[in-house]
A and B are shown apart, each in its own frame.
Chain A
Amino acid sequence: MKNKRGDILVENVIFIVLNIIFVSILILFLFRQGSGAGLLEQTYSKQIALMIDSAKPVMEIKLNMEKTKKIAEENKFDFKDVVSITGNVVNIKLSQKGGYEYSFFNDVEVKAFPETDSKNEYTGVYVFTINKKEQ
């Protein structure tokens, strides 16, 4: 009788632990999906393209990209290579593979570079300078 009671308790504990593990995996999956590199690449490239479209020469825009800095560091990818602008196309890369590009229609000259502090370390902010295109 004593043994039987003990078995039931162990079964219940295992059942509860398994449920907790299941729910934890689901929550972890949701968080990982929401902050994935692919999603961030897409959102930042579109956000930067729209930002450039709305800008006028001469402007300097600072964009906080700390989230991308974290992911780039995790992927051992240099933060200064995260944003690249070729012609009128913005490309965001958070790893060696992949990347997402989006074009803008504003015919301006754009330069992008990461901001550094006094110790020459990246602050997580990207600076965009918008100038008139030289003919």
Chain B
Amino acid sequence: MIIKNKLGAEKILSIYWFAILVIIAGAVVAMVSLFYGTPYDVRDAEANIMINQVSNCLSENGKLNQELFNEDKNFNEDYNLKEKCNLIFETEFKNEREEYFLEVDFYDLNNSPNGVSSGVKIFSISEGNLNLYADCKIENEKYKKLSKCIDREFYSLDSSDNVFKIKITSVVRKTEKNAK
């Protein structure tokens, strides 16, 4: 009688053991699939590289590029940022819209009114899909994956040694390739 009960208990134990193995295997497969199924998000790196490229083309050795100014020493409204900085925003992906937005703001630090140490915005250039800029303003965590926005600033001089603060905003969407 005792032997029979012991055998029954062992059978039940082995079923439980088998169930535990299946649960562990399922959990491991689910975790691994989730980990490797999520694409690598490289948009931060991409946006930072774009800012580096634009800053290198706008300013060299601490001096602003002379092509940014017209003959009257005012900012050139016709400055083509994409062409001058070797940028191409159109892609040959199927069903893909423009995935980048770039904005460069110039702040004059010489003629700032009292109390405004960050300067006054005197000129701005933008390129790409303006609609993406709205994604940067969304605070909701759920929508934060839409686009990656990076802001960086640097200082530079013009030919008359006037100091300017240049703020570059780079936005990269590419959500399908970088987020799940």
Q: How far apart sit A49 and B43, CA to CA, in the bound complex (Å)?
A: 11
The answer to whether B91 touches A88 (Cβ under 8 A) is yes
Query: Which of B28, B36, B49, B50: most chain A Cβ within 10 A?
Result: B49
A48 to chain B, nearest CB (A): 11
Residue on B nearest A19 in the bound complex, by CB = B21
The answer to whether B45 touches A103 (Cβ under 8 A) is no
Residue on B nearest A57 in the bound complex, by CB = B86
Contact with B along A26-64 (1 / 0, CB 8 A): 100110011010010011001001100110000000000
Within 8 A of B (CB), among A76-112: 86-89, 101-103, 105-108
Q: How far apart sit A33 and B32, CA to CA, in the bound complex (Å)?
A: 8
Selecting from B70-78, B92-100, B143-151, B155-163, the interface stretch reads B92-100
Q: Point out the residues of chain B lying under 8 angstroms from A39, CB to CB.
A: 36
The answer to whether A103 touches B32 (Cβ under 8 A) is no
The answer to whether B49 touches A103 (Cβ under 8 A) is no
The answer to whether B49 touches A46 (Cβ under 8 A) is no
The answer to whether B86 touches A50 (Cβ under 8 A) is no
A61 to chain B, nearest CB (A): 14
Contact flag A53-B49 (CB < 8 Å), given A29-B29, A105-B100: yes
Q: A22-B21, A89-B91, A102-B177 known; 14 other A-B pairs, CB under 8 Å?
A: A26-B28, A30-B28, A33-B33, A42-B39, A46-B42, A49-B42, A49-B46, A53-B50, A103-B92, A103-B93, A103-B99, A105-B88, A106-B53, A106-B88
A to B CB contacts below 8 Å, 5 in the list: A34-B36, A54-B52, A88-B88, A101-B93, A103-B92
